[in-house]
Amino acid sequence: MIIKLDHSHSADVKHLFYVSTKFMSSRESYKEVGNRTEEKVKAYHYKQFCEYYLQDNDAYGYIEDGIIKAVIGYSAPPGESYWNFGIMRSHGNGRIYIPKVFDKIIQLNEANHRYDFYSCVNAMYAYSKNIRGFAFSEWANERYEMIKEYVVPKDSECPNPKHKEELFFNWTYPIDIVVKHTSLKAKYRS
């Protein structure tokens, strides 16, 4: 079952940020560099999810047998016609849970006439059908197309000030990131 998440779910989602040894399909994010450790990176992403998405009620999750199996945080900046696909975490078979949650978020944004979204993808997998297949249901895949993208090289700041704040949270990643602009196809716009 899909549920809207808020700050009261903080403890219920924590396990999703600590069970995986990958972030953005890469172990590079967790490699120790300077004072960055795997534990600090996991804590940072968990804190960002709680403070940014749960606090503003911009997160949905999939709950089964009383356990939250997957979450997606998104943001819809006021006065803008786009939204941002933010942090996504799952445990178990994310291919089952993530597309259902993603469809819900798409439907909410379409109802508010937000037909474009931005997302970050590990550049190594940015053009893999597996990544799109992981988050996109058949329904979403048919309706949406990627229209623009740019690469943020590893350990570099995002050059777009809005994306730097809204997608990267002023964080740099030790992997190349592709920022994708995805849009609802014209034939599906009302």
pLDDT of 19-36, one tens digit each?
Answer: 876 666 666 665 666 677
| pLDDT at 24 (0 to 100) | 61
Radius of gyration of the chain (CA): 16
Q: How far apart are CA 100 and CA 93, in angstroms?
A: 12
2-188 carries CATH number 3.40.630.30: yes
pLDDT of 42-52, one tens digit each?
Answer: 888 899 899 98
Which amino acid type is present at position 64?
E
DSSP one-letter string for 60-91 = EEEEETTEEEEEEEEE--TT-SEEEEEEEEES
Low-confidence ranges of the chain (pLDDT < 50): none
| pLDDT at 104 (0 to 100) | 97
SS3 (DSSP) at 25: coil
Specify which residues 89 forms β-bridges with.
71
